[in-house]
A = this chain, B = another copy of it.
Amino acid sequence: MRYSIQEVAAKTGLSSYTLRYYDKAGLLPFVARNAAGYRIFTDGDLVLLHTIMCLKNTGMAISDIRRYIDDVMAGPTSIEDRKALLTAHRAKVLAKQQALTENLREVDYKLGLYAAPDAVAQVQGELAAARADKAANGLADPYPVV
């Protein structure tokens, strides 16, 4: 099957602007053109585009995705570079996942506090502590009077 840029946009959820931007950035060197210069995507192109979106969705920079695509275009000789690229990327994603989980725990703690039956009392306690901290340092109270 052959697909126009709008069809690919509909299939992937990317805008046609974004697809052209990716092409301009060197991410789509494999996409063919017809006699008029229109892009013609094939199913194989969609598989590669899926990989690109996968890397993008895990936070890889466009410049690094480009390096990966250059590797794919180069064939089997680039396997070592692909491995290095993806291994480094994988480590970054794992670190990000862990940080996300830790930070989310704190958000959950706050949410638990706000959902507690004595939420008002607890929040008032926090506010009192913050005011005491300012007073102990000889600083004005920045919290509006309730």
The residues of A with any CB-CB pair to B shorter than 8 Å are 1-2, 29-32, 40, 42-45, 48, 51, 54-55, 57-58, 73-77, 79, 82-83, 86-87, 89-90, 93-94, 96-97, 99-101, 103-104, 106-108, 110-111, 114-115, 119-120, 123-124, 127, 129-130, 133-134, 137, 139-140, 142-144, 146
Report whether over half of chain A's contact residues are helix, strand or loop; otherwise say mixed.
helix
**Candidates B74, B79, B97, B130; contact of A119 at CB < 8 Å:** B79
CB of B100 within 8 A of CB of A30, answer no
**Candidates B40, B54, B108, B140; contact of A32 at CB < 8 Å:** B140
**Known A75-B124, A86-B110, A107-B93; contact A44-B115, beta-carbon cutoff 8 A:** no
User: What are the 5 A-B residue pairs with the smallest beta carbon separation, nearest first?
Assistant: A44-B133, A32-B139, A76-B123, A76-B120, A83-B114
**Known A75-B127, A133-B43; contact A30-B142, beta-carbon cutoff 8 A:** yes
**Candidates B48, B96, B139; contact of A40 at CB < 8 Å:** B139
**Known A44-B134, A76-B127, A79-B123; contact A58-B103, beta-carbon cutoff 8 A:** yes
**Known A2-B137, A75-B123; contact A55-B143, beta-carbon cutoff 8 A:** no
**Known A42-B133, A83-B111; contact A73-B103, beta-carbon cutoff 8 A:** no
Q: With the chains together, A77 CA to B114 CA distance in Å?
A: 11
